[in-house]
Amino acid sequence: MPWWCSTRTASRSRFPVEADRARGFAALETRIAYRFVRGELLELALTHRSFGAHNNERLEFLGDALLDFGIAEHLYRRFPRLREGDLSRLRASLVRGETLAELGREFGLGDFLRIGKGEARSGGRARDSILADTVEAILGAIVLDAGADTALAVLGRWYEARLVALDPGVSHKDAKTELQEYLQARRLPLPVYHLTTQSGADHKLWFCVECQVSVLALPVEGRGRSRRIAEQQAARAALKQLRLQGNA
C-alpha cells in the first residue's frame, strides 16, 4: 500500500470541521470535483499561516511537486511532437501563480479561507499568492486523502478546459512581460503602474491600476480582483493601444 494511503484512518480531532463550515464544504467539494474522506485535510488546506502554527504550508509543498509533474505528463501526452523547450514554456504558463489564482477564484476559495484578521483586512482573501498557494495545498491534501493517482486525475479535470484551449504556436507570456520586452527592444522607458483605487469588502476587493507608457498620450486602465490582475489588464490594454497605433 502506498505510504499516503496509510493516513486515511488518522484521527480527525486536531482539525475538527465545524458543522456549518462542513455544510459549506459540500459545495466547495463539488467545485473542485473531489469529495474528501478526511474533511480535516480540506480544512487544513484552507488554513493560511497567518491563522496559526498549524497551516497549509506543508500541503502546499506536496501539491506544488505533484502539480509540476502532473502538468508535465498531460503536456507530454497531448503534444507528442513538441520539443522540450516548448513543453517547458507551456508548463510554465499553466503552473504560474496567476493561473492558479484564477482556479482559486473559480472554486470560490476566498469564502472558505482561514486567515488572520490583519491578513483579511488587507485583502488576503482575494490575493493571488494566497489563492495560488491554497490551490496547491488542496492538491496536496487530495494526495494524502486518496493517493497520487486520484490527485492527478482531479488535476486533469481542473485543467481540462485550459489544456484543450492551448495553442503551442501562441506566446504564453503574461501581458506585463510582453509589454516590458516590447519597450526594451525599442529602448523605450519601462511602463509605470499606479494603483488608483481599491474598493469593496475585504473578501471582494476590486483594484484599479493605471499604466503609463511613454509613447501613449494617456495612461490606460486595468481592473481586477487583485492588484496583480489589474496590472496585467492594464498592460494588455497598453499593448492593444500600441497595436492600434501601429507600434506593436
pLDDT tens-digit readout, 54-82:
999 999 999 999 999 999 999 999 999 99
pTM, rounded to two decimals: 0.69
Q: What is the pLDDT of residue 229?
A: 83
Exposure letters 80-116 (e unless 16+ CB within 10 A, then b): eeeeeeebebbbebbbebbbbbbbbbebebbebbbbe
Active site residue 64: yes
Check 40, 60, 119, 136 and give the catalytic one: 136
C-alpha cell at 44: 487544513
- From the list 43, 64, 133, 210, the catalytic residue is 64
Which domains are assigned to the chain?
3-165 (1.10.1520.10), 175-244 (3.30.160.20)
- The answer, yes or no, to whether residue 246 has pLDDT greater than 90, is no
Reported confidence tier of residue 115, pLDDT bands at 50, 70, 90: very high
Establish whether 167 is a catalytic residue: no
End-to-end CA distance of the chain: 57
Q: Quote the percentage of the chain above a pLDDT of 70.
A: 86
